[in-house]
Structure 1
Amino acid sequence: MKTSETAKTPIPHLAEPCWDDVSRLPIEPGDEPLVPMSLAPEPVKVFPAYARLGIPGAVPECYVRESVYRRLLLVARALPPGTGLVVLDGWRPWRVQQYLFDTLYETIRTHHPEFDEETLLERTREFISVPSRDPSAPSPHLTGGAVDVTLCDADGLMLEMGSLFDEASPASHSDFLERSDDLDERQRRARDHRRLLYHAMHAQGFTNLPSEWWHYDYGDQLWAHYGGHVQAIYGPTELDTIENRWRRQ
């Protein structure tokens, strides 16, 4: 799809995932390694958002599976001149997932004391999946197949996307700006940027989490769910450490 067409092609509306259905999808994991996105050439940029924000346990790098790495390069090279791809997060340690989940859960509970436990969990899972290292149902970011991305201009500054990364509000839903014909100029630019990102990622086999314009998946259970695949190919994984290497040797 040409760049001019992506700006005119709306992001389709997708239902939120039923996490019980997602977790039941089988996983046939291989041994594909995690690789650092900082190896990538221009026009890919890496900004490990959680490490920069001081999140406890966050790593100062964005790791993804090798196939995800190569597909992200193809995405970046297909973008129009002067536009780059920014990787904000990839593989995530379990304790970071737990911290994010707990923090959002408590924030929602503070602002909405009327919510019962079921509603609190539902609202939290809208933006942060339940921390899980279960080999049969891992959190997407623990697999190295989930990646958070945005776009930047030729100077490396991030483009307007209509909401902030990790903003837990309805405006972060991927198709939020598709629901109104009364957008101002800034909102129209953000809508077109979302469309460009969505279609560029989709063209390389990624699927999008509907509640987060920045979140894309390849190979994990969410990818299998939204892509109509019978199974996932990435289970939970860990970084290769010198201790693990010595054990194997």
Structure 2
Amino acid sequence: MTNPKTPLAEAPIPDHPLPDWSALRDIPIVERNDPLLPTSLSPGLATYPAYYKMGVPHAVDECFVRREVFDRLMLASQRLPAGMRLVVLDGWRPFIVQQYLFDTLINLLQHARPDLDADARYAFTRTLVSPPSTDPEAPSPHLTGGSVDVTLSDADGRLLDMGTLFDEASPLSWSAALEDPVHDDRYGEARVHRRILYNAMTGAGFTNLPSEWWHYDFGNQLWALHRGEPRAIYGATRPPGVERLWQHQLGLKGHS
């Protein structure tokens, strides 16, 4: 695919450091109670629940996001050049899936990088997977429905070259990694695709996790930290089941 002529491709991706993870807990959550919506119902978005397709245990076969996240994904999609589609790979993530991903990467690193001590393995793992947490004051970002993993495809559904695969454990997975001119020959087109994705998403109000070109946030503590917001609007949530629906309708809110 030739590089599209669009202003979104011109602005480089800033080289930001990782956030101060310890600061997340200090950001209060004032829950707005936006519902989770399935992205697969939108004709303006492509949905490919990557972890479910990869057979990750307990992964869901849908990508759920908060209502305003959904609306902002639509804005980002509308900003893309003709012939490109926004592909949603993951949204709300069950705690058990977060635990599986974190533990799996930690365990693999023990074998692949025996030179790393426990702290170094933890730090490396955290660049790709947030520690699983149901703490109401500091939940895992994907548990809030405010985190979303996205990529780009052409109009026919062919995934575009982004330089690395989704979730690839590589230094090149950092969002700004391809901005170095040394990568011009091999990754020039992928750099353009990353810029288009980054500028479309941040232009729609999302923030990006610097170590993952695919990860964006809105409304949760990670978003608030990046933007300097005084509070987050999304805490931990889950899709409503029929039991919760009936409890609400029957006035049994105190029951689980």
Q: Fold conserved (TM > 0.5)?
A: yes
SS at match of 1:22: helix
SS at match of 2:6: helix
Q: Encode CA deviations 1:162-209: one digit per residue, 9 max, x unaligned.
A: 00000011010000001234521x511000000000000011100000
Q: Is the 8 A contact 1:3 1:79 kept in 2?
A: no
- Which residue identity is paired with 1:5? P
- Which residue identity is paired with 1:107? L
Residue 95 (1) aligns with residue 96 (2) = yes
Aligned to 2:75: 74
SS at match of 2:184: coil
Aligned to 1:13: 15
- Which residue identity is paired with 1:17? P
Between stretches 130-139 and 112-121, larger displacement belongs to 112-121
Q: CA deviation at 1:108?
A: 1.0
Q: CA deviation at 1:112?
A: 1.3
Q: CA deviation at 1:130?
A: 0.4
Q: CA deviation at 1:154?
A: 1.1
SS at match of 1:167: coil
1:167-182 alignment runs, 5 A limit: 167-182=168-183
Q: CA deviation at 1:39?
A: 1.3
Q: Is the 8 A contact 1:3 1:196 kept in 2?
A: no
SS at match of 1:88: strand
- Which residue identity is paired with 2:204? Q
Residue 197 (1) aligns with residue 197 (2) = yes
Residue 216 (1) aligns with residue 236 (2) = no
Aligned to 1:106: 107
Equivalent-residue separation in structure 2 for 1:113 and 1:174 (angstroms): 27
SS at match of 1:149: strand
Residue 40 (1) aligns with residue 42 (2) = yes
SS at match of 1:237: coil
Q: Is the 8 A contact 2:6 2:81 kept in 1?
A: no
CA RMSD of the aligned region, Å?
A: 1.2
Between stretches 89-98 and 226-235, larger displacement belongs to 226-235
Gapped regions of structure 2 (runs ≥ 5): 250-256
Q: Encode CA deviations 1:34-70: one digit per residue, 9 max, x unaligned.
A: 010011113x100000000000000000000000001
Q: Encode CA deviations 1:75-124: one digit per residue, 9 max, x unaligned.
A: 11111110000000000000000000000111111111122211111111
Residue 150 (1) aligns with residue 158 (2) = no
Equivalent-residue separation in structure 2 for 1:23 and 1:149 (angstroms): 26
Equivalent-residue separation in structure 2 for 1:194 and 1:6 (angstroms): 10
- Which residue identity is paired with 2:170? S
Equivalent-residue separation in structure 2 for 1:92 and 1:197 (angstroms): 22
Gapped regions of structure 1 (runs ≥ 5): none
Q: Is the 8 A contact 2:31 2:235 kept in 1?
A: yes
The alignment's TM-score, normalised by the length of structure 1, stands at 0.96
Q: Is the 8 A contact 1:27 1:233 kept in 2?
A: yes
Q: CA deviation at 1:3?
A: 5.9
Equivalent-residue separation in structure 2 for 1:231 and 1:180 (angstroms): 38
Count of matched residue positions in the alignment of Structure 1 and Structure 2 = 246
Q: Encode CA deviations 1:209-233: one digit per residue, 9 max, x unaligned.
A: 0000000000011100111111111
Query: Residues 242, 108 of structure 1: CA spacing in aligned structure 2 closer, same or farther, 3 A cutoff?
Result: same
Residue 139 (1) aligns with residue 140 (2) = yes
Match of 1:27 among 29, 32, 42: 29
Equivalent-residue separation in structure 2 for 1:140 and 1:197 (angstroms): 20
- Which residue identity is paired with 2:137? S
- Which residue identity is paired with 1:110? H
Equivalent-residue separation in structure 2 for 1:245 and 1:4 (angstroms): 46
